[in-house]
Amino acid sequence: MMSLVSALETLHNANLCAGKELYSWAFYAIDDEPTSNLGDKPFSCARLDDCSSPTDVVIVGCTTVSELKNRGLNIWLSRHARGDIRVTGLMTGAFVLAESKILRESPVTLHWAYRDAFAEMYEDVALSTRPFLSDNSRCTSSGGITAIDLFLDFIEQSQGNQFASEVAESMNYITIRQAHHVASAEATARKRIKNARLNAVLKTMEENLEFPISPGEIASAAGISARQSERLFRRYLNQTPKQYYMQLRLKRAYFLLTQTEMSVVEAGLASGFNSPSHFSRCFRNEFGHSPSQILMGRET
């Protein structure tokens, strides 16, 4: 329910900011009964068969994954989700996109609690840890208020950055929006991973962001070899230690730029980057914007 309400509030505020109806929506259920259970309450919907020419399709996934397997919905999606029609999965909606075989090799994201099950069921689908994905016509978000970020991105794509920022501001969402651009869709890794040695490695990384140490030193501090560390990262995080460590440092830099008065050079140094050019290149590769662009957004 939170994902649905977050998406609708974003569109509603866009209409208010524009002073006219930019967006409209309707609700459809996959069963014969014109209701759908969202949370613990029935939600009034029309029948899916009554929706014959959608321009955008949004699947609101539930917490019971088995209920997302529906042959009628799969057939409907394969028939209507063609061409440039955008199909979006919220919360666990990625299960529906994968089951319907309409992903077109697009990666997906979903709520962290369901990632392991998804990976087992759909081994050929690439999983992202981003809060939301909106780069093509197959889009997903990881649940909760990340739907706000996803739909703000949709608004930015069609109405421009300035208008999207106005909508975010009308929702008191500017600072939170900045943070979610770099937040992981997963819960804090050390709270979920049941491997003491890997947790020790992660803790060492988190304690050495300003003055990075080598992968060998990090592994040694945890009492394992560099090769063991590599295997643990591949098994639990599907990354190399170097990749994960770099992301931690870049996230630190991003938050310093958006939440403090630090300059680009100061934020880079505080995150372990001695070369401004190297910092800028790594930052752009990770977030799609240079540190200077983020700083300009803070100042405006």
> Measured between alpha carbons, how far is 131 from 182 in angstroms, rounded to an integer?
8
Do 174 and 192 fall within a single domain? no
Q: Which of 25, 29, 60 is nearest to 44 (CA)?
A: 29
Give the number of domains in the chain: 2
* Dihedral sign (CA 196, 255, 1, 85): negative
Choosing from 159, 180, 201, the residue where a domain stops is 180
Do 162 and 15 fall within a single domain? yes
What is the arithmetic mean of pLDDT over 83-105? 88
Q: Which of 157, 164, 287 is nearest to 295 (CA)?
A: 287
- What was the pLDDT predicted at 128? 85
Name the 3-class secondary structure at 97: helix
Do 30 and 138 fall within a single domain? yes
- What was the pLDDT predicted at 182? 53
> Measured between alpha carbons, how far is 278 from 118 in angstroms, rounded to an integer?
36
pTM: 0.63
Across-strand partners of 141? 132
Residue 8 has pLDDT above 50, yes or no: yes
Residue of higher predicted confidence among 31 and 300: 31
Do 12 and 153 fall within a single domain? yes
Lowest mean pLDDT among 62-66, 92-96, 183-187: 183-187
pLDDT tens digits for range 278-297: 999 999 998 888 999 887 76
pLDDT tens digits for range 217-226: 999 998 999 9
Choosing from 120, 145, 180, the residue where a domain stops is 180
Do 222 and 166 fall within a single domain? no
CATH of the domain at 136: 3.40.50.880
Burial of 120: CB neighbours in 10 Å, binned 0-12, 13-18, 19+: exposed
Do 105 and 206 fall within a single domain? no
pLDDT tens digits for range 119-173: 888 889 998 878 888 878 899 998 888 899 899 999 999 998 889 989 988 988 8
Per-residue confidence band for 48, with pLDDT thresholds at 50, 70 and 90: confident
Residue 183 has pLDDT above 60, yes or no: no
* Dihedral sign (CA 50, 51, 52, 53): positive
Choosing from 149, 180, 211, the residue where a domain stops is 180
Do 57 and 114 fall within a single domain? yes
What is the arithmetic mean of pLDDT over 94-106? 88
Mean pLDDT of all residues belonging to the chain: 84
The set of residues, in sequence order, having a beta carbon less than 8 Å from that of 272 and lying 6+ positions away, is 209, 210, 211, 212, 249
Do 10 and 118 fall within a single domain? yes
- The β-bridge relationship of strands 41-44 and 46-47 is unpaired
- What was the pLDDT predicted at 261? 77
Most confident of 166-175, 239-248, 255-264: 239-248
CATH of the domain at 286: 1.10.10.60
Do 168 and 241 fall within a single domain? no
- What was the pLDDT predicted at 187? 45
Report the 10 Å Cβ neighbour count for 268: 26
Do 167 and 41 fall within a single domain? yes
Do 135 and 100 fall within a single domain? yes
Per-residue confidence band for 54, with pLDDT thresholds at 50, 70 and 90: confident
- The β-bridge relationship of strands 28-29 and 46-47 is parallel
Residue 35 has pLDDT above 90, yes or no: no
Residue of higher predicted confidence among 241 and 260: 241
Do 74 and 104 fall within a single domain? yes
Helix (H) or strand (E) holding 46: strand 46-47
> Measured between alpha carbons, how far is 200 from 206 in angstroms, rounded to an integer?
10
CB 166 within 8 A of CB 172: no
User: Which residue range(s) make up the domain with 106?
Assistant: 2-180
